[in-house]
Structure 1
Amino acid sequence: LADTGRFEEAAAHYRGALQINPDYMPARINLGTALLNLGKPDEAIAHYMEALRLEPGNVYTCYNLGNALRELGELDAAAGYYRQAITAKPDFAGAHHNLGVAFYQQGHYAQAVEAYRQALALAPEFAEGHVNLAITLLLCGEFAEGWAEYEWRLRMPGMAHSAPPPRWNGEPLAGKSIWVKAEQGFGDALQFIRYLPKIQATGGRVIFACRPELMRLLRSYPGIDQLAESGEAAPADYQTTLLSLPGIFRTDAASIPAAVPYIEADPALAAQWRARLGGDGQFKIGFVWASNVHNRRIRYRSCELQWFSPLFQFPNTLFVSLQKDAGASRRLAEWPSAGNLLDLGGELTDFADTAAVVANLDLVITVDTAVAHLAGAMGKPTWCLLSFVPDWRWFLAREDSPWYPSMRLFRQPQAGDWAPVFAQVAPALKRLLSSLKF
């Protein structure tokens, strides 16, 4: 049952086995793992601890206990149990890898790389290990090896490509067509379509496959000759995936294509939203406080609406919510303000609408979401609020982004702590507003 993802049913069977024999180790460990997969790490830990009481030092119990503790953010404790597993079984590639993940989440990047390399020495075909090594290398600005390792993502579940056509490796296309598949999130598509004109420059005809929410925005994008919806099989001479392009073009810190704007709103649509916005004479600020609910990193990329509250008090401002999740309108309706909040999230049907609103704003303040990439790609002044361990594309210890010249980065100094971030944002906004004449 657990192997097919039916964890609730599996947990019930494991509990039944433990009623018969409370000391049955496999059931105890497997129940913990089922609970962990059900998002109940606290309960999982209780069963793993009982398993360790029954068999101290059991390698797989230590490993699974490390996983549960890491899920709770108890990273030092998690690392300690991974080390115990490695001591008991030095060739346990999974324990080396997950120790690397714990190091990464603590911001110990050199140690993470070392642990990932050890895991890969033991399991050279471990795709997830290669991808996590890539992400860490790219975060640290190690582009050449990072891009090469990042290609292992194509061996991850759901990423495999069927053949034909053959994959493109950067050779001149000389009139041939290429099917480029968007991958991962909306932000990834918006960030990396900047490479499509570079394909055209090799003589290629670009067929770009993306999700429907992007199609109206990108239908006039100059780097695209034909749009297709994700999942469609468009006839082409070659194929590639969007995030393979930086590696194919050998991108490094000096060669990031950073000319903006490379995305523009439809002028007629922007005019319609200008009328909807109103607020003439006010400084218009778009904001987003939470990542997509389906993003597995949502808890790191999101903050509470309350952190924006002090910003709402600035005079001569109109704060425009671009937050699209179902509960956003309810939370905003309950929020006290000076009458300068406008909730547009529920009215935005796709990214063409969002771009048309952004075109009418003076500033966007957002956590790490697709809106940050959209605003940056449009050349709009954008303040992006980053977690302690940021996504690799934001690199480390810098306030600017080489991808987006109009963007400023505000970083958490420690995990989960948004207070210092907004302690920087508020005076920065005050200085900006003070420099303007209303």
Structure 2
Amino acid sequence: GEAVAPYRRALALEPTLPSLRSNLAGALSLSNGDLREQTALLEQAVLAHPDDGNAWTNLANAYRQNLDLSRSLEAGERAVQCAPSSALAHNNYALALREAQRWDAALQAAETACTLAPDHAGMRSNLSMLQLMRGDYANGWLSHEARWSGSSELRGNRPTFPAPTWKGEPLAGKTLLVWGEQGMG
């Protein structure tokens, strides 16, 4: 949120700076700014710089949040073309593909995102949802643990128990606490 005013000032001073509109839109997104303004800034950014993978990545997300699925898919595809090594481009494209129920392509994009950013909990959490939806429970439940730090809704809210987390070791003579969550416990 603190970046919005300096970005606006920079835009007023030098409106042709590359990435400025995309960065301002990103700051607005992270501070819950006006989605219409974000989208307009990003559309201007990709018009001025059609190969800007970051702008396309952000635009795919803005269109998805604005429920414009067809444009989100187009922007996501373009983002991946412009920035094939960007985990965020693949992740945002995966989210659009998931909304379009294009499961195979969504899974592939999410897996690519996680390969490119293996320690990113948010991307791992997104992958887990696709894996679980597809019935890949062995991988999905493992990846689902990332939700405690990767999901904005759950971040910092992991329940604490006065016992260690079970890692698959034998349970003979021990007690196992099963945590019921989301109807899947």
Question: Are the counterparts in 1 of residues 54 and 83 from structure 2 also a CA contact under 8 Å?
Answer: no
Equivalent residue runs for 1:297-336 within 5 Å: none
**Partners of 1:93 and 1:40 in 2: CA distance:** 25
**Partners of 2:27 and 2:117 in 1: CA distance:** 25
**Quick one: percent identity of the two aligned structures?**
30
Given candidates 63, 81, 94, the residue that maps to 1:100 is 94
Given candidates 58, 75, 80, the residue that maps to 1:64 is 58
Given candidates 154, 166, 169, the residue that maps to 2:167 is 169
Q: Partner residue of 2:13?
A: 20
Q: Compute the displacement of 1:128 (Å).
A: 2.1
Name the aligned partner's letter for residue 120 of structure 2.
Answer: F
**Partners of 1:39 and 1:21 in 2: CA distance:** 22
- Taking only aligned residues, the RMSD between alpha carbons, in angstroms, comes to 2.7
**Partners of 1:45 and 1:105 in 2: CA distance:** 19
Superimposed CA distance per residue, residues 353-395 of structure 1 (whole angstroms, 9 cap, x where no aligned partner): xxxxxxxxxxxxxxxxxxxxxxxxxxxxxxxxxxxxxxxxxxx
Unaligned runs of 5+ residues in structure 2 are: none
- In structure 2, relative to structure 1, the CA distance for the partners of 1:116 and 1:175 (3 Å cut) is closer
Name the aligned partner's letter for residue 18 of structure 2.
Answer: M
Question: Are the counterparts in 2 of residues 15 and 27 from structure 1 also a CA contact under 8 Å?
Answer: no
Question: Are the counterparts in 2 of residues 153 and 159 from structure 1 also a CA contact under 8 Å?
Answer: no
Question: Are the counterparts in 2 of residues 48 and 61 from structure 1 also a CA contact under 8 Å?
Answer: yes
Question: Are the counterparts in 1 of residues 76 and 96 from structure 2 also a CA contact under 8 Å?
Answer: no
- In structure 2, relative to structure 1, the CA distance for the partners of 1:175 and 1:144 (3 Å cut) is closer
**Partners of 2:127 and 2:65 in 1: CA distance:** 20
Q: Compute the displacement of 1:82 (Å).
A: 2.0
Structure 1: 4+ residue segments shifted above 4 A: 159-164, 178-183
Equivalent residue runs for 1:150-189 within 5 Å: 150-156=144-150, 157-158=155-156, 165-169=163-167, 171-172=170-171, 174=173, 188=182
Aligned: 1:77 with 2:71:
yes
Name the aligned partner's letter for residue 67 of structure 2.
Answer: G
**Partners of 2:103 and 2:50 in 1: CA distance:** 31
**Partners of 2:91 and 2:10 in 1: CA distance:** 32
**Partners of 2:148 and 2:28 in 1: CA distance:** 29
Equivalent residue runs for 1:188-199 within 5 Å: 188=182, 191=183
**Partners of 1:90 and 1:25 in 2: CA distance:** 20
Q: Whose strand proportion is higher, 1 or 2? A: 1
Superimposed CA distance per residue, residues 228-270 of structure 1 (whole angstroms, 9 cap, x where no aligned partner): xxxxxxxxxxxxxxxxxx5xxxxxxxxxxxxxxxxxxxxxxxx
Name the aligned partner's letter for residue 82 of structure 2.
Answer: A
Q: Partner residue of 2:41?
A: 47
Greater C-alpha Rg = 1
Question: Are the counterparts in 1 of residues 53 and 89 from structure 2 also a CA contact under 8 Å?
Answer: no
- In structure 2, relative to structure 1, the CA distance for the partners of 1:90 and 1:166 (3 Å cut) is same
Q: Whose helix proportion is higher, 1 or 2? A: 2
Name the aligned partner's letter for residue 106 of structure 1.
Answer: A
> Helix, strand or coil for the counterpart of 2:89?
helix
Q: Partner residue of 1:130?
A: 124
Unaligned runs of 5+ residues in structure 1 are: 1-6, 193-245, 247-438
Aligned: 1:10 with 2:3:
yes
Equivalent residue runs for 1:392-431 within 5 Å: none
Q: Compute the displacement of 1:95 (Å).
A: 0.8
Name the aligned partner's letter for residue 174 of structure 1.
Answer: G
**Partners of 1:41 and 1:163 in 2: CA distance:** 40
Superimposed CA distance per residue, residues 193-244 of structure 1 (whole angstroms, 9 cap, x where no aligned partner): xxxxxxxxxxxxxxxxxxxxxxxxxxxxxxxxxxxxxxxxxxxxxxxxxxxx
> Helix, strand or coil for the counterpart of 1:99?
helix
Of residues 158-167 and 39-48 in structure 1, the stretch that sits farther from structure 2 once superposed is 158-167
- In structure 2, relative to structure 1, the CA distance for the partners of 1:57 and 1:120 (3 Å cut) is same
> Helix, strand or coil for the counterpart of 2:3?
helix
Name the aligned partner's letter for residue 14 of structure 1.
Answer: Y
Given candidates 96, 102, 113, the residue that maps to 2:107 is 113
User: How many aligned positions are there?
Assistant: 179
Name the aligned partner's letter for residue 41 of structure 2.
Answer: H
